[in-house]
Amino acid sequence: MKRHDVIIVGGGHNGLACAAYLARAGRKVLVLERRERVGGAAVSEEVFPGFRFSVFSYVVSLLRPEIIRELELPRHGLHILPLESTLTPLANNDYLAQWSDHDRNRAELARHSPRDAEAYDEFGLLLHRMARAVKPLLATAPPDPASLRPRELLDLARLGKYFRTLPARDLNALWKLLTMSAADYLDEWFESEALKGTKSASGIIGTLLGPRSPGTAYVLLHHYMGELDGVFRAWGFARGGNGSVSAALGAAAQAHGAEIRTGASVQRILLSSGRAHGVVLESGEELRASTIVSGADPRRTFLGLVGEKALPGDFVESIRRYKFRGSSGKVNLALAELPRFTCLPENGPPHLNPIYRGAISISPSVDYLERAYDDAKYGEISRRPYMDIIIPSMLDPSMAPPGRHVMSIFVQYAPYHLNGGWSDARREAFGDTVVDTLAEYAPNLKRAILHRQVITPADIERIVGLSEGNIFQGELTLQQMFFLRPAPAWSRYRTPIDGLWQCGSGTHPGGGVMGASGRNAAHAILGRRA
Amino acid sequence: MSAALVVGGGVDALVAAHVLARSGMRVTLLEEFASPSAADGWVPDEVARAVGISDLVLTTPDPWLRAVLPDGGTLELWRDVARSAESIGRASARDAAQWPRFCSRMRALAGLLERLYCESPPSLVELRFALRVRALGRRGMEDLMRTLPMPAAELLDDWFECDALKGALGALAVRDIQQGPRSAGTALRLLHLHAGSPAGVFRPSGSNFAERLKALPGVVLRNARVKRVVVRAGRAAAVSLDDGTEIAAQLVVSSAPPARTLVEWIEPGWLDTDLTRALRHVRSRGVAAKVRFELAQPCAPLTLAPSLDHVERAYDDAKYGRVSQRPCLDLTASGAGAEVHFQYAPYRLAAGEWTDARRAALADQAAQLLAPHLPTITGRSVAAPPDLETAAGCPQGQPHHAELALDQALWMRPLPELARYRTPIEGLWLCGPAMHPGAGVAGAAGYNCARAILRA
């Protein structure tokens, strides 16, 4: 039997990133993936003949640049195409377009509110500064503030020292971002409903919270952390779909000697006298290694693969309390023609209009989003949901047959805990709600649809294995962040089981196809500082 | 002897005035609003001692909470933890077993707040604060970090299953804040209410503190409405009143809302525009109305908030500027009648102004909901948020002057630049409920402010 140093459970992007770093450091690494393809929620699949989709996650922005650099991802096939704009169609046949080009953006904002156009630059500078302050923390294994171990104390002191270097003003601004609602925060800056709606939408993604819920302001920062090619605020699309991110990470891992096995579903982690020393596959096969790393979420890892009997009671209690509450779904459409948004002025064929190469956001106002949340809060699908849409075939024509298009619609809210539970009928009803709402803005949509794939949080859980379909492996709320993620005292990728580590988004700094958890975990396993 | 003017009114102003007077200053208190007769909130020993009051009379209703159960019975929470558990046990045996544990965990956390409340707020990166948090031990620290940013609903769901219990405590946790129990930070609000009370009591005692303060000698009291704080060479030099008189002072201490003090009373130009802009953004939305019922017989307290969802839905109405269709009502006995806290009744209504017809409709709504549980109602009066603004100077009817949310608590209260009671105008200080620790801790902001002045 071939002997490995490290077995990584789950070939999602974090598992692959972790594998690549460990292999690069000379460890013999084996990645076990349950599905027939790696990538977890970052996969591209030809769902309908000729039509390829980023089935689940669909944009790239937060992928850490050091990972792209250190693992030479472009050499392994990663090519990111920028999304240059966001279009917010409005009910009164108007729209708000935001552009990555500064002057164009300012002119468009001024059309809605000259005051907002003025405030926008100052707002951007502040958030940019905050994002810079936070960025070093993304690559840090959070110390345990209650520990007395010298190394933790040292790291704690180092962290304290870092915070002391920040001007008090920035620190306070950061605290506001962490604790305020996106709506309250934006109200301090802007007056245009369309702008506030679209900006606050980034705060609610992946959580069962509304734009008026405290804690949602923080995620505004993420938009300013995306830094493709060193340009702030850039979002991009990976050529070939988000599966290309996973493919590049996998190729990098393999190039460093890691072995990847697909169709290998881990049933349980083998323990003896409190130490992890291998895994059992569903086929019954046993594989051994001195280090086991789980990329699965905390619930699956600890309550599933390990089993609560082997774990301390307090820890089990923390993992049980850890909140998932998936709230988002996807609708993927194969289209015979592009949707025509009636709010846009008629100027030539849509496929030549650059706005279709950007994102489209159905978020006309904060109240619109809040009402969508009100439905979900009590266990219903939003009657008029928030949507974040891209048309990948406009950026990468290979995603669809010539002249045809694919459309990726991220939808919120579709609560995992739906009253009465999810069924095929409810799934289709959810798809209908999405298409009906969107068709109000683009009436030709319905007849353009050739095929439709609807994905609910229950589907995400079943197919990808993310508990309750939470796309971040657990909500990114204040009480589940930094040294509390996923459980107090266990935020440094270690677990109460010797030899067992975690590397998924359920650890700091969390989801968003950042890859930071995988990289940080690898560094922790290697005993290095990131 | 230096002359100090304390302006505003309320318990904080009284405490600040007396602490300063006892240090030898000549103090005049210009009361803009009649001080309330019953101090609302916990009176820390340290604060009472600082003004030389040692014989406070506390009113401690027992049970301190009575919630209606779906079967028509009631659930009572008593000052005695075991007795409460017994009452809870009629609805849920599991919750009855949890209650004593919940109470002792919450007590430990409130203990930390109590210590933080009687001094200037800590700074986020202060070592002293870090060490004090560490002194709570691993369990306490983890509880603190998890609990403070939590939604009250999540905290209560973690511990209990009985809707009546969770609803009633959830309603307390969102008291006077434009948030629902599912909003992060509302668990802090519940702890704030717990400060100063024994384990298992989440409602501060009433006291005769304000009455005693008003009877204390040593401070000149005067009714007056302030028009301007006169600034000369960057220093507060005098206060000019509505009637045109000007009173010179070396020191001006204001318990009025910060925006009023610094934007309305100060000539424009003395302050940084960044600060005035931030002051305008201090959130102080009034969300509750008070209804007073005269009753044929005395009654026990009563809370109508049957579940967390009920409280949350009541909040949903407020988000869109509506009075809750199904409000949370909290009735406490007061004199010969009862006072009802009616939440949510937002200051700004989407439908228009607060008219007498709307006030009457609100009172009808409260009377109708409470009638099955009350003796005959013989009279009533209503104070909507705008009335609280006119009568007590609460901005938008918000008794805390600045909503007690995570981003407006401790070192952020009401703004980080002002959290230490000092303002950019030399000789001008803030001591009102908008300051740390805020309303609900009687006189602590006034006491902390006066101490900061004396140390300066």
For the residues B425-446, what does the mean pLDDT come to?
A: 95
Pick the residue with more confidence: A149 or B348?
B348
Domain-embedded: residue A423: no
Predicted confidence (pLDDT) at residue B1 exceeds the cutoff of 70 = no
How far is B170 from B144, CA to CA, in rounded Å?
A: 19
DSSP track, A233-287: T-EEEETT-THHHHHHHHHHHHHTT-EEESS--EEEEEEETTEEEEEEETTS-EE
Residue A167: pLDDT band by 50, 70, 90 thresholds?
A: confident
Mean pLDDT of B337-356: 97
3-state secondary structure (DSSP) of residue A290: coil
- A479, A485, A491: best mutation site toward chain B, by most B Cβ within 10 Å? A479
Give me the pLDDT at residue A2, please.
Answer: 66
Same-domain pairing of A72 and A106: no
* B37 pLDDT higher than 90: no
Choose the mutation target among B132, B136, B145 for the interface with A, i.e. most A CBs under 10 Å: B145
A149 at B interface, C-beta within 8 A = no
User: b/e map of B295-329 (b: 16 or more CB within 10 Å)?
Assistant: beeebbbbbbbbbbbbbbbbbbbbbeeebbeebbb
Classify burial at A354, counting beta carbons within 10 Å of its beta carbon; exposed 0-12, middle 13-18, buried 19 or more.
exposed
CA distance A194 to chain B (A): 17
Q: Nearest to residue B139, comparing CAs of B96, B109, B110?
A: B109
Q: Residues 302..341 of A with a Cβ closer than 8 Å to B: which?
A: 321, 323
Q: Which amino acid is at B445?
A: A
Residue B419's closest chain A neighbor by CA?
A172
- The verdict on residue A257 lying in a domain is yes
Q: Is B128 on the interface with A (CB under 8 A)?
A: no
The minimal CB distance from B146 to the residues A212, A214, A479 is found for A479
Q: Which residues of B touch A367 (CB under 8 A)?
A: 320
Report chain A residues whose CB lies below 8 A from the CB of B325. Answer: none
Quick check: B124 contacting A, CB < 8 Å? yes
**Yes or no, beta carbons of A377 and B146 under 8 Å apart:** no
What phi-psi label fits residue A438: left (phi over 0), alpha (psi between -120 and 50 degrees) or beta? alpha
Burial class (CB in 10 A: 0-12, 13-18, 19+), A365: buried
A158 occurs within a structural domain: yes
B18 CA: distance to closest CA in chain A (Å)? 33
Strands A359-362 and B302-304: unpaired
Stretch A419-426: mean pLDDT: 98
- For β-strands B251-254 and A359-362, DSSP reports them as unpaired
CB-CB under 8 Å, A164 with B406? no
Mean pLDDT confidence for B241-253: 95
Q: What is the DSSP letter of B263?
A: I
Q: Within an 8 Å CB–CB cutoff, is residue A257 touching chain B? A: no
pLDDT at A415 over 50: yes
Residue with the larger pLDDT of the pair B141 and A507: A507
CB-based contact A175 B407, cutoff 8 Å: yes
What average pLDDT does the segment B219-231 reach? 94
A184 vs B141: CB contact, 8 Å cut-off?
no
- pLDDT, mean of residues A425-445: 97
- B273 by Cβ neighbours in 10 Å (0-12 / 13-18 / 19+) ranks as exposed
Contacts for B49 with CB less than 8 Å, ≥ 6 apart = none
Separation of alpha carbons B249 and B3, rounded Å:
5
Q: Do residues B182 and B153 lie in contact, with contact meaning Cβ atoms separated by under 8 Å?
A: yes
Asked if residue A508 belongs to a domain, the reply is: yes
> Who among B141, B179, B319 is closest to A146 (CB)?
B141
Lowest-confidence region among A19-28, A140-149, A174-183, A495-504:
A140-149
Range of the domain at A176: 101-201+216-224
Q: Calculate ∠ Cα A413-A417-A422, nearest 5°.
A: 90
Residues A478, B309: C-beta atoms closer than 8 Å? no
Measured between CB atoms, does B146 come within 8 Å of chain A?
yes
Structural contact between residues B171 and B311, judged by C-beta atoms closer than 8 angstroms: yes
Question: What is the distance between the alpha carbons of residues A328 and A205, in angstroms, rounded to a whole number?
Answer: 8
How many residues does the structure list for chain B?
456
pLDDT digits (tens, 9 = 90+) for B288-327: 999 999 999 988 899 999 999 999 999 999 999 999 999 9
C-alpha distance from residue A347 to each of A340, A403, A500 (Å)? 11, 19, 59
Q: Which residues of B touch A181 (CB under 8 A)?
A: 183
CA distance to partner chain A, nearest, from residue B204 (Å): 26
Verify whether the Cβ–Cβ distance A489 to B416 is below 8 Å: no
Nearest CA to CA, how far is B316 from chain A (Å)? 8
Per-residue pLDDT band for A228 (boundaries 50, 70, 90) equals: very low
Contact by Cβ (8 Å): B218, B195 = no
Q: Across the interface, do B125 and A164 touch by the CB < 8 Å criterion?
A: yes
> Looking at the domain covering B3-57+208-283+401-455, what would its CATH class be?
alpha beta
Q: Comparing B130 with A339, which gets the higher pLDDT?
A: A339
Res B70 pLDDT > 90: no
Q: Which of A227-236, A435-444, A504-513, B332-341 has the lowest mean pLDDT?
A: A227-236
pLDDT of residue B161: 97
Tell me which H or E stretch contains A516: helix A516-525
Alpha-carbon distance B242 to B263, whole Å? 17
Residues 6+ apart with CB under 8 A from B142: A146, A488, A489
CB contact set of A366 (below 8 Å; sequence gap of 6+): A183, A186, A193, A196, A197, A200, A211, A212
What confidence tier does A226 reach under pLDDT thresholds 50, 70, 90? low
- Give the contacts of A64 (CB within 8 A, at least 6 positions apart): A138, A139, A514, A515, A516, A519
Q: What is the mean pLDDT of residues A174-185?
A: 92
A159, A162, A180: best mutation site toward chain B, by most B Cβ within 10 Å? A180
Find out whether A506 and A494 touch, Cβ atoms under 8 Å: no
Task: Point out the residue among A168, A188, A214 whose CB comes nearest to the CB of B179.
Answer: A214
**B111 reaches A (C-beta below 8 A):** no
Instruction: Assess if residue A92 is contained within a domain.
Output: no
Q: What is the CA radius of gyration of chain B?
A: 22
| Residue B128 confidence (pLDDT) | 77
CB B336 within 8 A of CB B307: no
Contact (CB<8Å) A477/B405: no
List the structure tokens of B86. 């017994």
Phi, psi of B113 (to 5 degrees): -60, -45
State pLDDT tens for residues A50-73: 999 999 999 887 888 899 999 999
**pLDDT for the residue numbered A233:** 45
Give contacts of B272 with chain A, Cβ < 8 Å.
none
The chain A residue lying nearest B180, using CA atoms, is A213
Does A398 contact chain B (CB < 8 Å)?
no
Residue A493 has pLDDT above 60, yes or no: yes
Chain A 197-256, residues with CB within 8 Å of chain B CB atoms: 212-215
In chain A, the percentage of residues whose pLDDT exceeds 70 is 97
Most confident among A24-33, A507-516, B3-12 (mean pLDDT): A24-33
d(CA B47, CA B118): 8
Whole-number average pLDDT of chain A: 92
| B309 contact residues in A (CB cutoff 8 A) | 378
Look at chain A and report how many structural domains it folds into: 2
Residue B39 has pLDDT above 80, yes or no: no
* Euclidean distance between CA atoms A405 and A339, whole angstroms: 10
- Please identify among residues 318-377 of chain B the ones whose CB lies closer than 8 Å to any CB of chain A: 319-320
Q: Do B407 and A179 touch (CB under 8 A)?
A: yes
Of A184, A321, A378, the CB nearest to B309: A378
Closest alpha carbon within chain B to A162: B125
Residue A358 lies in a domain: no
ipTM: 0.92
Of all residues in chain A, the one with the smallest CA distance to B278 is: A188
A146, A484, A488 member nearest B134 (Cβ): A146
CA distance A504 to chain B (A): 21
Distance CA A262, CA A254 (A): 13
Confidence of residue A229 (pLDDT cuts 50, 70, 90): very low
| Model pLDDT, residue A521 | 97
How far off is chain A from B385, nearest CA to CA, in Å? Answer: 21
Domain assignment present for residue A22? The answer is yes
Distance between CA A408 and CA A438 in Å, rounded? 12
Cβ-nearest to A374 among B154, B316, B411? B316
- Give me the pLDDT at residue A231, please: 46
A93 touching B (Cβ < 8 Å):
no
In whole numbers, what is the pLDDT of chain B averaged over residues? 93
Question: Other C-beta atoms within 10 Å of A268: how many?
Answer: 14
To the nearest whole angstrom, how far is the Cα of B239 from the nearest Cα of chain A? Answer: 31
Q: How many Å lie between the alpha carbon of B437 and the closest alpha carbon of chain A?
A: 18
Partners of residue B179 in chain A, C-beta under 8 Å:
214
Using the beta-carbon criterion (under 8 Å), do A214 and B145 form an inter-chain contact? no
Same domain, A184 and A271: no
Does residue A355 lie within any of the structural domains?
A: no
Highest mean pLDDT among A215-224, A406-415, B214-223: A406-415
Q: Tell me: the pLDDT tens digits for B161-183? A: 999 999 999 999 999 999 999 99
Distance CA A435, CA A445 (A): 8
Residues 6+ apart with CB under 8 A from B318: B178, B287, B324, B344, B345, B346
Question: Where are the domains positioned within chain B?
Answer: 3-57+208-283+401-455, 80-202, 288-397
d(CA B375, CA B358): 25
> Which residues of B fall within a CB distance of 8 Å from A149?
none
3-class secondary structure per residue, B195-253: CCCCCCCCCCCEECHHHHHHHCCCEEEEECCEEEEEEECCEEEEEEECCCCEEECCEEE
Contacts of residue B320 in chain A, CB cutoff 8 Å?
Answer: 367
- pLDDT for the residue B38: 59
CB A203 within 8 A of CB A217: yes
Interchain contact A165–B (C-beta under 8 A): no
